């Protein structure tokens, strides 16, 4: 029983990282209908930013985190302006290929700059198990869950209450109409990329602290799974990404612990396929009728 609860908490922690990354996919998809395949790489760059900050400046954890998130946000805006903006009116698949190209580019850039070998991430959070009612939980796990939930609440408040947040929702509903209402669409898209990338970087830092490693290809698998999470919950929907992230994290942890660690990826993708066949718009998605 204690083991089950322990696994449950681990799943929650892994899931919250996936949820953070999934938010980036979902925000961008919601607003420009693009699967931003480079998002996993932004997460990787976020981890590297944190790594460099710690090594060179030795800042404390929170400062490092914020520094890395700001840098990642700037990176996200740059990528959007350079690579995606010229393709707004191009066929969807061209934009998709550009995103894939961008993802490859960032991966190889990181490889050229930092080398292909994994770097050891310093312990940003002092690691010791905390004993709560006989259940051993690592500090990293707790910090991950707390930080993720905190930023999700901040995001939710931002989207619901602030002007840029409302603009984001408006643009994702109807781009033309929001232009008429005087919303600066380009700026809103940039803000979306900035927020998505910052959350991705947060996920990346937490991921690299949990697994104590940073390497150029670290973004691929978590990126793919976070993407699965976003689709599972209903792509374009913010609560969907959070729900999907937690489900994927939970399924992965539980199947690794009780079934087989080799098959867990197949189980994750299998669930994705089943959900898409039964309900293509995802768990929280609304069915939309195809317009003729």
Is the CB of 165 or the CB of 234 nearer to other proteins?
234
Does the footprint of other proteins cover residue 156 (CB under 8 A)? Answer: no
Kindly write down the DSSP assignment for every residue of 183-234, as one continuous string: --HHHHHHHHHHHHHHHHHHHHHHHHHHHTEE-TTTTHHHHHHHHHHHHHH-
Shortest CB 149 distance to other proteins, Å? 27
The token pair that represents 121 in the structure block: 């991430």
Residues 6+ positions from 50 with CB-CB distance below 8 Å:
64, 65, 67, 68, 121, 124, 201, 204, 205, 208
Range 25-54, binding other proteins (CB under 8 A) = 33, 35
Asked if 164 and 183 count as a contact pair (C-beta separation under 8 A), the reply is no
Tell me which of 74, 87, 143, 149 binds other proteins, using CB under 8 A: 87
Asked if 186 and 124 count as a contact pair (C-beta separation under 8 A), the reply is no
Range 102-131, binding other proteins (CB under 8 A) = 102, 104-105, 107-109, 111-112
Does the footprint of other proteins cover residue 237 (CB under 8 A)? Answer: no
Q: Is 120 strand, coil or helix?
A: strand
Range 67-86, binding other proteins (CB under 8 A) = 83, 86
Residues 6+ positions from 177 with CB-CB distance below 8 Å:
170
Residues 6+ positions from 54 with CB-CB distance below 8 Å:
64, 121, 122, 124
Does the footprint of other proteins cover residue 181 (CB under 8 A)? Answer: no
Does the footprint of other proteins cover residue 292 (CB under 8 A)? Answer: yes
Stretch that binds other proteins, among 12-20, 46-54, 177-185, 269-277 (CB under 8 A): 269-277
Tell me which of 97, 137, 170, 185 binds other proteins, using CB under 8 A: 97
Is the CB of 159 or the CB of 224 nearer to other proteins?
224
Is the CB of 156 or the CB of 265 nearer to other proteins?
265
Tell me which of 88, 92, 160, 187 binds other proteins, using CB under 8 A: 92
Does the footprint of other proteins cover residue 273 (CB under 8 A)? Answer: yes
Task: Identify the CA nearest to 104 among candidates 87, 85, 121, 79.
Answer: 79
Is the CB of 25 or the CB of 151 nearer to other proteins?
25
């Amino acid at each position: 029983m204690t083991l089950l609860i322990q696994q449950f908490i681990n799943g929650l922690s892994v899931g919250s990282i996936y949820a953070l990354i999934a938010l980036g996919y979902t925000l961008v998809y919601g607003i420009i209908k693009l699967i931003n395949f480079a998002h996993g790489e932004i997460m990787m760059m976020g981890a590297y930013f944190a790594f460099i900050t710690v090594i060179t400046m030795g800042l404390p954890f929170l400062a490092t985190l914020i520094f890395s998130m700001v840098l990642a946000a700037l990176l996200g805006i740059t990528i959007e302006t350079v690579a995606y903006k010229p393709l707004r009116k191009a066929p969807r698949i061209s934009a998709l290929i550009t995103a894939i190209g961008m993802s490859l580019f960032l991966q190889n850039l990181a490889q050229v700059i930092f080398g292909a070998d994994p770097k050891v991430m310093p312990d940003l959070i002092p690691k010791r198990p905390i004993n709560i009612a006989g259940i051993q939980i690592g500090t990293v796990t707790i910090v991950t869950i707390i930080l993720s939930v905190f930023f999700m609440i901040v995001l939710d408040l931002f989207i619901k209450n602030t002007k840029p947040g409302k603009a984001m929702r408006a643009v994702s509903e109807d781009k033309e109409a929001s232009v008429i209402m005087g919303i600066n669409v380009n700026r809103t898209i940039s803000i979306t990329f900035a927020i998505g990338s910052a959350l991705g970087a947060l996920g990346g830092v937490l991921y690299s602290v949990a697994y104590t490693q940073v390497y150029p290809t670290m973004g691929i698998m978590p990126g793919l799974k976070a993407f699965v999470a976003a689709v599972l919950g209903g792509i374009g929907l913010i609560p969907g990404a959070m729900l999907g992230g937690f489900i994927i994290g939970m399924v992965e942890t539980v199947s690794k612990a009780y079934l087989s660690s080799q098959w867990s990826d197949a189980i994750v993708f299998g669930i994705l396929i089943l959900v898409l066949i039964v309900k293509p718009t995802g768990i929280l998605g609304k069915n939309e009728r195809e317009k003729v």
